[in-house]
Amino acid sequence: MTVGVEVESFDPEHATDDDLRGYYQVMLARQETDRPDIPRLTYEDVLGRLKNPFVGFGPVAYWVARLNGELVGLAIVYFMEEESSHIGLTEVIVHPRVRRRSIGATMLQAILPELRARGRTFVETWQITEGSDGERFANALGFHTAHTVLSQALVISETDSALWQQSVPPGYRVQQWTDAAPDDLVASFAKAFTAMQDAPTGDLGFGEPVWNARRVRAHEAELRQNNVELRVVVAVHEDTGDIAGLTQLELHPHRPYWAFQRDTAVLPAHRGHGLGRCIKAYMIRWLLADRPDLDRINTTTGAANAHMIRVNHQLGYRTARTMIAVNRDLAELEADLGARCSASTQ
Ligand SMILES: CC(C)(COP(=O)(O)OP(=O)(O)OC[C@H]1O[C@@H](n2cnc3c(N)ncnc32)[C@H](O)[C@@H]1OP(=O)(O)O)[C@@H](O)C(=O)NCCC(=O)NCCS
């Protein structure tokens, strides 16, 4: 263990300006080192994310590590709910200047009791840049690589808008809404979400939610409470009136010039007609009509999901980076970290 490292919980609401600046410096250095494709993070971006944590992943908690008093590391844990309530979705970040001094391992060890206290049995991390320090750290601590994901971005100013002119396949119509599904479509919308079960997710512990109208309404309400704008485009099958395909996008309050493309799914009976490409293209056209100053749309897609990756490329998305998701049983991790700690103090 590194002498002089202290780990403590961090409450962004009551943090000092110095600590918020320190938090920003760690985030910025991580972005420049591990995610250089992302435009430089501003202080406002990072504070904005602290005020507006991701919605739908459960309550979040933060910790910081100080080395001789200076904030040099942080940990963010989302306590996932429902099908995934065994998971602590965990991210540990150490400033590149002080890596390889056991700060990451010390932080992880310090936060595990809280994960256990909140009923977690599994530690999972989703977005580690392939080939980075993060991957080597995860391997060294016995994490299992559960899934590989591509981070893709559509940079509006660099893309030919002709790519988004996609016609609607015969037999379908396209419908759009913001924030809440129309009452007459909400049940069909929840049912269409079952197609997300077919998206490859490797060995993730994360359990794809089983959607129904009540859960759709609860999710919509949570997004509204957090000032996230939800946009949905669906393809409706004319003969039955059922939703055949859907795509969702979020606009977060602190970063109005970025959009987050979320789930896209087409039910098996309707695949192969270009519906996925059609509704995603429609989403882009609709968004840009209202938000002409939008800089980019970000998305992540399973590396094994050849169809979705091809659709994204056809629409002008470019793959920015490959990321891995890792996980490990909490009790095993605790035992290994404990052994590591006692070995280093002998
Ligand atoms: C991952 C990260 C938090 C590790 O922080 P750290 O303080 O450097 O990690 P530690 O010093 O505690 O490393 C613990 C062990 O992991 C292994 N390890 C860590 N980084 C490594 C690297 N770059 N190369 C090889 N092994 C590495 C080593 O075995 C190390 O023990 P050792 O130094 O005694 O040999 C840091 O690299 C980081 O912030 N990366 C970006 C964020 C990220 O990817 N997080 C994913 C983890 S949730």
Residues 15-26: pLDDT tens digits? 999 999 999 999
Would you say residue 273 lies in a domain?
yes
How far is the C-alpha of 320 from the C-alpha of 151, rounded, in Å?
6
pLDDT, mean of residues 307-326? 97
Q: For a ligand 1 pocket test, name from 62, 64, 76, 100 the mutation site with the most ligand atoms within 8 angstroms of its C-beta.
A: 100
296 and 335 both lie in a single domain = no
The torsion of the CA quartet 342, 113, 115, 94, rounded to 10 degrees, works out to -50
108 and 176 both lie in a single domain = no
Number of domains in the chain: 2
Residues 6 or more apart whose CB falls under 8 angstroms from that of 330 comprise 88, 112, 115, 116, 120, 121, 122, 123
Would you say residue 340 lies in a domain?
yes
Neighbours of 44 (CB within 10 A): 11
Would you say residue 155 lies in a domain?
no
How far does the centroid of ligand 1 lie from the alpha carbon of residue 64, in Å? 16
Q: Give the chain's mean pLDDT.
A: 95
191 and 140 both lie in a single domain = no
13 and 138 both lie in a single domain = yes
Residues with CB under 6 A from ligand 1: 30, 34, 90-94, 99-105, 125, 128, 132-134, 136-138, 140
For position 97, what pLDDT does the model report? Answer: 98
207 and 298 both lie in a single domain = yes
How far does the centroid of ligand 1 lie from the alpha carbon of residue 101, in Å? 8
Q: Can you tell me whether residue 49 is helix, strand or coil? A: helix
Which residue lies with its CA nearest to atom 33 of ligand 1? 100
How far does the centroid of ligand 1 lie from the alpha carbon of residue 47, in Å? 25
The strand pair at 296-302 and 258-266 is best described as parallel
Nearest atom, ligand 1, residue 344 CA: 34
pLDDT tens digit sequence for 19-74: 999 999 999 999 999 999 999 999 999 999 999 999 999 999 999 999 999 999 99
For position 198, what pLDDT does the model report? Answer: 79
How far is the C-alpha of 47 from the C-alpha of 25, rounded, in Å?
12
Confidence of residue 193 (pLDDT cuts 50, 70, 90): confident
Nearest atom, ligand 1, residue 133 CA: 23
Residue 344 has pLDDT above 90, yes or no: no
Would you say residue 110 lies in a domain?
yes
pLDDT, mean of residues 248-260? 94
pLDDT, mean of residues 153-164? 98
67 and 42 both lie in a single domain = yes
How far does the centroid of ligand 1 lie from the alpha carbon of residue 74, in Å? 13
How far does the centroid of ligand 1 lie from the alpha carbon of residue 36, in Å? 19
CATH number at residue 207: 3.40.630.30
pLDDT, mean of residues 244-250? 97
Residue 346 has pLDDT above 70, yes or no: no
Confidence of residue 345 (pLDDT cuts 50, 70, 90): low
How far does the centroid of ligand 1 lie from the alpha carbon of residue 241, in Å? 52
293 and 334 both lie in a single domain = no
* Residue linked to tokens 């893309």: 159
Residue 291 has pLDDT above 90, yes or no: yes
For position 208, what pLDDT does the model report? Answer: 83
169 and 289 both lie in a single domain = yes
Q: Which domain holds residue 210?
A: 160-315
For position 209, what pLDDT does the model report? Answer: 86
Contact 123, 328 (CB under 8 A): yes
With CA atoms as reference, report the closest residue to 72 among 8, 12, 120: 8
With CA atoms as reference, report the closest residue to 287 among 178, 180, 158, 181: 178
Under DSSP, the state recorded for 104 is H
Q: What percent of the chain has pLDDT over 90?
A: 91
110 and 187 both lie in a single domain = no
How far is the C-alpha of 343 from the C-alpha of 84, rounded, in Å?
34
pLDDT, mean of residues 213-230? 96
CA 232 to chain centre: 18
What amino acid is encoded at 239 in this protein? D
Q: For a ligand 1 pocket test, name from 133, 322, 341, 345 the mutation site with the most ligand atoms within 8 angstroms of its C-beta.
A: 133
54 and 137 both lie in a single domain = yes
